[in-house]
Amino acid sequence: MFPPNSTTTLFAVVIVLAGGIPLTEQYFYNGIKSGLEPDLKHSLFLDRIGQCRWQPDLAVFLADMRIVQRNHTHYVLSGVLRVRRNITQATTGTVSIEICQNTTHCRPFVDPPVNVGDVCRFLDEQRNSSLGDVLGRSVPPLECPFTKGLHRINDALVDYKPFRYFSPHVSKFWRIDFVGESDRKRVLCMRIELFVYSWEDMLPRY
């Protein structure tokens, strides 16, 4: 029922109690505004973006990204992506989405995972999307086919749009796994974990 970080919750409660600041202005400062337009009534907490923890040795490794809330509409992401060897064969990707009760009890939300086909083509199609914006901040640019090297993603701005369909009325805790295979071997596995709350959930309880 409560946001992931109890310090943040406490902070919000203190502000609300101390402030006389209208609630409608305040609750969004926890997390960023999310949901479907026009009423962005959900609060999104991006909790983790990084390598699947049980697969640290794949050809592609994404260190846990730094996620900083810029304001009540945007996060800023930074991180390092390491490609450990040249990946010469085509890489095909799947996306799976799970809804969770807690960190150990999750179940698939879409089953089977969605096949996104060729990862390079997929990334190319994402050029004008939020994902494209994030990858566009990579230095040096992430190019296909992936070749051995280190890429830094510097201060990529992300808003709610890639996450707008994650509804707190379905689940408050979501997991998205992005997996890639090349030459019948898994080469990448990245996980995004997020919490989403409706504004009713964010109201302090007395």
Ligand X SMILES: *[C@@H]1O[C@H](CO)[C@@H](O)[C@H](O)[C@H]1NC(C)=O
Query: With CB under 6 A as the contact rule, which of the stretches 14-22, 68-76, 173-181, 184-192 interacts with ligand X?
Result: 68-76
Among 11, 17, 63, 71, binds ligand X (CB under 6 A): 71
Does 89 participate in binding ligand X (rule CB under 6 A)?
no
Tokens at 39, concatenated: 């009423």
Which of 75, 133, 185, 188 minimizes the C-alpha distance to 141?
A: 133
Phi, psi at 140, each rounded to 5° = -65, 165
| Bridge pairing between strands 42-51 and 138-139 | unpaired
Q: How far apart, in whole angstroms, are the C-alpha atoms of residue 194 and residue 83?
A: 25
Does 154 participate in binding ligand X (rule CB under 6 A)?
no
- Closer to ligand X by CB, 6 or 102: give it: 102
Among 48, 53, 66, 148, binds ligand X (CB under 6 A): 148
Query: With CB under 6 A as the contact rule, which of the stretches 38-46, 90-98, 99-107, 167-175 interacts with ligand X?
Result: 99-107
User: Does an H or E element contain 32, and which?
Assistant: strand 32-34
Contacts with ligand X by CB under 6 A lie at 70-71, 73-74, 86, 101-102, 104-105, 125, 127-128, 147-148, 157
